[in-house]
């Protein structure tokens, strides 16, 4: 690895009091929500300092989510690629099948502590919606999930799951009918019912304190993985890889490694049909459309046209199909704490199949973008190099999409 291209600058104890990660982050919301965010900041700080809250969170993580999730050595994949040794952080094995539960449990406990029993959430792939519905059932909360109608069509099993779990799923027909529009509707609901309602935001996005809070609840991924990889591989990894939609699984993994100057962190955005096609969700990779801007409460990289209108995005994976990215990722990129690359739909679908066949693991299409980068990187590294990839979720929910994309007859 060329050490000169990888200089981690910038302090990593972000955000500041105003919720800024360098130039990114902040709180760009209607005034009606400002008091709710202020209240949330106070409640969150108190909860995190309260040993009882921490105990309850840790207890549920162990006895309900099934943490720690293992780190699995991908022996056949490593041999097949003929380079670095590959290890998978198995968030797909967490209850509900993805990392989203880590944050959902944390925020739901906080909601309960704040006396707010009505939960609104947005969902893209449905994994956060399922996690929110699950913890709402567990804690006796009233859960309402906004989901774009396009996403509902491509993630049907998750829609059914949420309904079984007692949540109301509200179809969103505005805009591109995907994650961004679901967030708009969830915020509109929150602004209307702000006194009684907790907005359980699913990614490291939105106004302060959400990017910080979601990161903190997800950082269990990296904290565990750091210990586990030393046990399994005998040392720390050379490279950590994770897919980046809003970026919660990636920030959760990266955080434990953010100060290690010799560990490369790579986030993988959705390249869709390729950057040149304009049909993608690659905020960092497309210099024409991806520029700093403000969307849904936070300043970060945003896919927008010259007039500042937000672009429609495309990805085969609903969970990466979003026009902005968590502000901490923008900060990590600017300060070279992490690097960002893309995987196209086709590369993700190929990686999906490879992991199925070689490891007996069906990854989520989101996570398959991370695996696609592993397939590119591993052969370029020596055999004693170690790659850790976050397998953020399992792919059962994606079977319909994959069958269609691959033209399979079942």
Partner 1 sequence: MMTSKMTGLEAIDAMFADTKEQNRAAFLPYFPIGYPNYAESIEAIVGMAEVGVDGFEIGMPFSDPLADGPVVQAATQIALENGTTVRDCIRAVRELRARGVHQPMLLMGYLNPILAYGIENFVRDAKAAGTNGLIVPDLPPEEGVLLAEVCHREGLALVFFLAPTSSNERMELVSKQASGFIYVVALTGVTGVRTELPPDLTDFIERLRKHTDKKLVMGFGISTPEQARRVGSLLDGFIVGSALVKAGKEGAAKAIELATTLRQALD
Q: Which residues bind partner 1 (CB under 8 A)?
A: 18, 26-36, 38, 174-175, 180-181, 184, 187-188, 191-195, 291, 293-297, 302, 304, 306-310
Closest distance to partner 1 from the beta carbon of 191 (Å)? 6
Whose Cβ is closer to partner 1: residue 223's or residue 312's?
Answer: 312
Whose Cβ is closer to partner 1: residue 270's or residue 310's?
Answer: 310
Q: Is 392 a catalytic residue?
A: yes
Around Cβ 219, how many Cβ atoms within 10 Å?
18
Closest distance to partner 1 from the beta carbon of 30 (Å)? 5
Closest of 136, 123, 212 to residue 167, by C-alpha: 136
Whose Cβ is closer to partner 1: residue 27's or residue 333's?
Answer: 27
User: Rounded to a whole number, what is the largest CA-CA distance in the chain?
Assistant: 57
Q: Is 8 a catalytic residue?
A: no
Whose Cβ is closer to partner 1: residue 308's or residue 382's?
Answer: 308
Closest distance to partner 1 from the beta carbon of 297 (Å)? 8
Closest distance to partner 1 from the beta carbon of 180 (Å)? 7
Closest distance to partner 1 from the beta carbon of 36 (Å)? 7
Whose Cβ is closer to partner 1: residue 195's or residue 231's?
Answer: 195
Whose Cβ is closer to partner 1: residue 18's or residue 82's?
Answer: 18
Whose Cβ is closer to partner 1: residue 54's or residue 196's?
Answer: 196
Please, are residues 233 and 386 in contact by the beta-carbon 8 Å criterion?
yes
Q: One of 8, 78, 89, 122 is an active-site residue; which one?
A: 122
Per-residue 3-state assignment (H helix, E strand, C coil) for the chain: CCHHHCCCCCCCCCCCCCCEECCEECCCCCHHHHHHHHHHHHHHHHHHCCHHHHHHHHHHHHHHHCCCCCEEECHHHHHHHCCCEEEEEEHHHCCCCECHHHHHHHHHHHHHHCCCCEEEEEECCCHHHHHHHHHHHHHCCEEEEEEEHHHHHHCHHHHHHHHHCCCEEEEECCCCCCHHHHHHHHHHHHHHCCCCEEECCCCCCCCCCHHHHHHHHHCHHHHHHHHHHHHHHCCCCCEEEEECCCCHHHHHHHHHHCCCCCCEEEEEEEEECCHHHCCCECCCCCCCCEEEEEECCEEEEEEECCCCCECCCCCCCHHHCCCECCHHHHHHHHCCCCEEEEEEHHHHHHHHHHHHHHHCCCECHHHHHHHHHHHHHHHHCCCCCEEEEEECEECHHHHHHHHHHCCCCC
Closest distance to partner 1 from the beta carbon of 168 (Å)? 19
Whose Cβ is closer to partner 1: residue 302's or residue 362's?
Answer: 302
Q: One of 8, 78, 91, 100 is an active-site residue; which one?
A: 100
Distance CA 354, CA 396 (A): 15
Q: One of 248, 300, 368, 392 is an active-site residue; which one?
A: 392
Closest distance to partner 1 from the beta carbon of 140 (Å)? 25
Closest distance to partner 1 from the beta carbon of 89 (Å)? 33
Please, are residues 334 and 9 in contact by the beta-carbon 8 Å criterion?
no
Distance CA 327, CA 345 (A): 24
Q: Is 180 a catalytic residue?
A: no
The residues annotated as belonging to the active site are: 100, 122, 392
């Amino acid at each position: 690895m060329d050490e000169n291209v990888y200089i981690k600058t910038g302090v990593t104890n972000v955000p500041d009091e105003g919720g800024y990660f360098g130039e990114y982050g902040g709180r760009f919301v209607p005034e009606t929500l400002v008091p709710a965010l202020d209240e949330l900041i106070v409640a969150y700080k108190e909860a995190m300092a309260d040993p009882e809250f921490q105990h309850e969170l840790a207890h549920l993580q162990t006895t309900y989510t099934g943490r720690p999730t293992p780190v699995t050595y991908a022996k056949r994949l490593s041999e097949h690629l003929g380079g670095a040794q590959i290890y998978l952080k198995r968030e797909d094995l967490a209850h509900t099948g993805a990392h989203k539960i880590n944050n959902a449990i944390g925020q739901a406990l906080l909601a309960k502590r704040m006396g707010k029993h009505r939960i609104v959430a947005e969902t893209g792939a449905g994994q956060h919606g399922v996690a929110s519905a699950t913890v709402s059932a567990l804690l006796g909360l009233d859960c309402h999930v906004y989901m774009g109608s396009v996403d509902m069509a491509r993630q049907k099993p998750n829609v059914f799951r949420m309904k079984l779990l007692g949540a109301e799923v509200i179809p969103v027909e505005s805009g591109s009918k995907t994650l961004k529009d679901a967030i708009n509707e969830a915020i509109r609901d929150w602004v209307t019912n702000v006194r009684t309602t907790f907005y359980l935001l699913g990614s490291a996005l939105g106004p302060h304190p959400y990017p910080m809070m979601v990161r903190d609840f997800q950082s269990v991924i990296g904290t565990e993985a750091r210990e586990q990889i030393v046990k399994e591989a005998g040392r720390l990894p050379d490279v950590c890889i994770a897919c980046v939609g809003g970026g919660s699984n990636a920030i959760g993994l990266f955080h434990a490694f953010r100060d290690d100057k010799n560990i490369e962190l790579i986030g993988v955005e959705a390249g869709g049909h390729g950057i040149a096609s304009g049909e993608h969700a690659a905020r960092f990779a497309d210099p024409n459309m991806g520029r700093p801007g403000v969307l849904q409460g936070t300043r970060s990289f945003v896919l927008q046209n010259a007039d500042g209108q937000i672009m429609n995005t495309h990805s085969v994976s609903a969970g990466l199909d979003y026009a902005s990215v968590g502000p901490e990722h923008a900060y990590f990129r600017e300060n070279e704490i992490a690097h960002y690359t893309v995987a196209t739909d086709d590369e993700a679908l190929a990686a999906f199949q490879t992991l199925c066949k070689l490891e007996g693991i069906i990854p989520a299409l989101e996570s398959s973008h991370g695996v696609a980068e592993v397939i590119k990187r591993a052969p370029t590294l020596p055999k004693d190099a170690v790659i850790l990839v976050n397998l953020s979720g399992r792919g059962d929910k994606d079977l319909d999409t994959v069958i269609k994309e691959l033209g399979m007859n079942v």
